[in-house]
A and B are shown apart, each in its own frame.
Chain A
Amino acid sequence: MEPTDPLWAARLAAGDDHALAEVFDHLAPTVYGAALRVLGEGAAAQDVVQDVFVELWRHPDRYDPKAGTLGTYLIVLARHRAVDLVRSELRRLARQERHYRLTPEGPGPTPSDAVTAADTADAVRAAVRLLPDDQRQVVELAYFQGLSYREVALATGIPEGTAKSRLRLALAKLESALDRQLLESP
């Protein structure tokens, strides 16, 4: 019996913690690298590595060796998780910006918060401005106005599937454009 991906999969399913440690030592640097490519340096990429290996240990049966290598599977998991983090951050920034716009008379942010928020919002806006028109439009509707895919499709007169694919493309470009400081902002 050779140490192959199917064997690792079978051992993980059998609750073999030694196999988990072996897989980590073998593949964690690649998984971390994949997360770094999306997120830049920092704690967020480490969180992704943790999430990926927790997922592998909790649901080892979701990896099908017939579908590809374990390394590829973990890299795909890492990228999905990293993109989820970026999306979540974008939504948070959009919510924050809307909040500041809609509550000018409230207690408001501290001067420091305001500067940080303005910086991050500027960064997002700058990145969004670089997008092609059709992608910029769906991002603004989805993230700054909070519309669903269906509502974006209705508002722009395009099919829902097209709205989704434009958003995916736009997010991929934003991930590259946004710098690490923005993603690591609290």
Chain B
Amino acid sequence: MTASLPAGLRERVMAATHQVRQAGQSVPEVSEDSPAEAFGHAADAFYQTLCSLTGDDWGLPVLRDLDVQGLVGHLIGVEDDVQRALAGDPGVASTDHVQSTQPAALRQAGRPTAGTREDWRRAADRTLAAVTGGDLDAVVALHGFPLRVRDLLVARTFELWTHENDIRTAAGLSLAAPAPSTLQPMTRLATALLPFGAVFTDLHEPVSVHLVLTGPGGGTWDVAVGDPSPEPAALGIVTDVVGFCRLFSNRIAPADLDVFVTGDPRLARSVLTAATALALD
């Protein structure tokens, strides 16, 4: 049996629901890692994956011209550059992410793999030590991006998780997903950077994106992308939180992401492409 609703009931019910829970809040609530915790958890997970590799796995081709050992060397180089940036060294402000770290990657060839693994672990620990007690809102410049330290740590969380999965894929292991508590700062950063991704991909059309990331660690965001406008096009995008993070890391193409869209599908593709634009290899 259905019945016509009395006038005003919809408004009354919507007002009552918003009194008990704000829009955007995911349920069940999960605690959110601090930026340093997120980076620490990603580093631990990366190290565990390295420890699970066989000797042969270290020689598998994984990314660009790098094998697994070379990729870990690249990350040793990244940690060195991060520490220089944190120390205020302008020499790493605008260097290229790959070129700057290629010498560290190439240095690993022929070394015992345990030496590479432990060198990386110590480098990651030095990064953590360098930010402990420091000003997380200080802005540092690294590889062409000025970022607050808190955002840099979360960006590095993305990088470690992404390369962990690069290695796991090369070694035939299942993909790893961050804990919901770690996903929260990752999604917060990814959604905050979406308008900048739109700038990089020349998406000027004003769009109000209602972005819903489902699953533990997800949430709902309303993000304005494109040129400012009083009447932006309304677009709704619903997708899985881990899938969106893989998209942001440029490890899945927009066309391969399982999404539910309300609004213009062409605009949705443009916005999803913008999400991939800030990923670094």
Interface set of A (CB-CB < 8 Å, partner B): 1-3, 7, 10-21, 24-25, 28-30, 32-34, 36-37, 46, 49-50, 53-54, 57-61
Contacts and interface: CB of A to CB of B under 8 A. Distances in A.
A1 to B, nearest CB: 4
Main secondary structure of the interface of B (DSSP, over half): mixed
Contacts of A29: 2-5
Given A10-B215, A15-B21, A33 B2 contact: yes
A53 B17 contact: yes
6 contacts: A11-B214, A14-B26, A14-B218, A16-B220, A17-B220, A28-B5
User: 10 closest A-B pairs (Cβ-Cβ)?
Assistant: A33-B1, A17-B23, A10-B214, A1-B260, A29-B2, A57-B17, A33-B3, A15-B220, A16-B212, A15-B24
A34 B1 CA distance: 7
Contacts of B219: 14-15
Contact of A1 (B6, B18, B26, B258): B258
A37 B1 contact: yes
A19 B237 CA distance: 12
B266 interface: no
Interface stretch (B7-15, B42-50, B55-63): B7-15
Nearest to A51: B16
Contacts of B214: 7, 10-11, 13-14
Interface residues on B, range: 35 or more
A58 to B, nearest CB: 5
Given A13-B214, A54-B17, A58-B20, 20 more contacts: A3-B260, A7-B214, A10-B238, A12-B27, A13-B218, A14-B218, A15-B27, A16-B23, A16-B220, A17-B23, A21-B14, A25-B10, A49-B9, A50-B9, A50-B13, A58-B21, A58-B27, A59-B27, A60-B27, A61-B27
A49 B215 CA distance: 27
Contacts of B14: 20-21, 24
Contacts of A50: 9, 12-13, 16
B259 interface: yes
A15 B17 CA distance: 11
A11 B212 contact: yes
Contact of A57 (B12, B20, B238, B239): B20
Contacts of A60: 27
Contacts of A16: 23, 210, 212, 220, 238
